[in-house]
Chain A
């Protein structure tokens, strides 16, 4: 678009929508029918939407940290696009959470004004990446798990969850392929890349147990045909990761039972506090600011 003044171009609209999030931007579910099945508990549904939204939101921000730092421009584009897909999924789910919660919170209030203890993401998405091997290892684990989850969620009785999942399946299929191909390339690469992949697996694998432990909210909503019981994802996750690791000449680490759990209840690592401080700083410093 041609313009003389970038600021004017950003603000010169015929209505009050603006070109940045946190600014009265039209919500992503604008105009979407949003009825809730009458027998579904709105509070539980809101909590479940927050779980799936926060998983995507926090990992999206970890991925965004690689922009300007990726090894090649092609990977920078890929990582940015994957982060954008996850941010889009998070926006839809946060908006849905705010609607069914009924306390007047929109996606911005939920993203920017909640404290760490109110986030419901799994701990897998929290730690900063150690290196590129860690990035692709975590992304593989996340994408394999989330694809299995979203694929089942397309049958949800909540029409918004089902629709968000159906779109997400197409997106996360590409994310999983990207991560898997890098895991194979690095695992079956040089001695150094193989060593780094082993270190990444050792760091990420202890965080996978939480992915399959059903929170009571997930269990209740799964029984009602709204959510997916994460325990049901284990066999697909094991089969797909085994396929990738075998091709990559890697073995999955023996994982000891750990207490690395609790993300769904708001019990997080200090890493989440750090990333939220950065993400929320401007919105909290200037509440209600519009720019």
Chain B
């Protein structure tokens, strides 16, 4: 068994909350390497309170055990913090195909305090159903911390959008 094989197995594990994406698509799988007798897999959480981290660790160990890797250590890294910019192009296509609008580029910070914008005008979000170029935000938080609720004025369908962070 080679480290490259293990990396492919780990990369293909689905995310528990966005199961159309793999951990690699989501950009939370940071490293897979052989270390001594075993494997060390490194992941990073999307949000501090991400309740899926324990499941992700279990799923990684389980998938790698099925592939013949019995000694697996799953490490968590917090830094650098996850950003939606790490979602791969393939991951973005899969989100859109599942009716979830993928994120745009994460905001860039200027020096100084984080600015508070009371009437934000974020870049338009395209409807994942009908392709209408601009849609409206219904709520800043969706079923999970990483998603917001939107609605399309053309086809009237509600949908979720992965927020840029």
Instruction: State the A residues within 8 Å of B (CB).
Output: 13-15, 17, 19, 25-26, 28-32, 74-75, 77-78, 80-82, 84-89, 91-92, 144, 147-148, 151, 159-160, 162-164, 166-171, 173-174, 176-178, 180-181, 184, 236, 239-240, 243-244, 247
Contact = CB atoms under 8 A, between A and B. Distances in A.
B145 interface: yes
Contacts, number: 126
Interface of B: 42, 45, 47-51, 53-54, 57-58, 61-62, 65, 73-82, 113-114, 116-118, 120, 138-145, 149, 163, 165
B138 to A, nearest CB: 6
A32 B53 CA distance: 13
A11 B146 CA distance: 27
B143 A17 contact: no
B78 A77 contact: no
Identify the 6 closest CB pairs spanning chains A and B, nearest first. A88-B49, A31-B75, A88-B48, A74-B139, A163-B78, A163-B79
A87 B145 CA distance: 13
B73 to A, nearest CB: 7
Contact of B144 (A31, A32, A81, A162): A81
B47 A85 contact: yes
A236 B112 CA distance: 10
B142 A176 contact: no
Contact of A173 (B47, B65, B114, B141): B114
Contacts of A92: 48, 78
Nearest to A239: B113
Contacts of B53: 26, 28
Nearest to B57: A26
Contacts of A89: 48-49
A30 B74 contact: yes
B80 A166 contact: yes
Contacts of A173: 114
Contacts of B143: 77
Given A77-B141, A163-B79, A14 B61 contact: yes
A180 B114 CA distance: 14
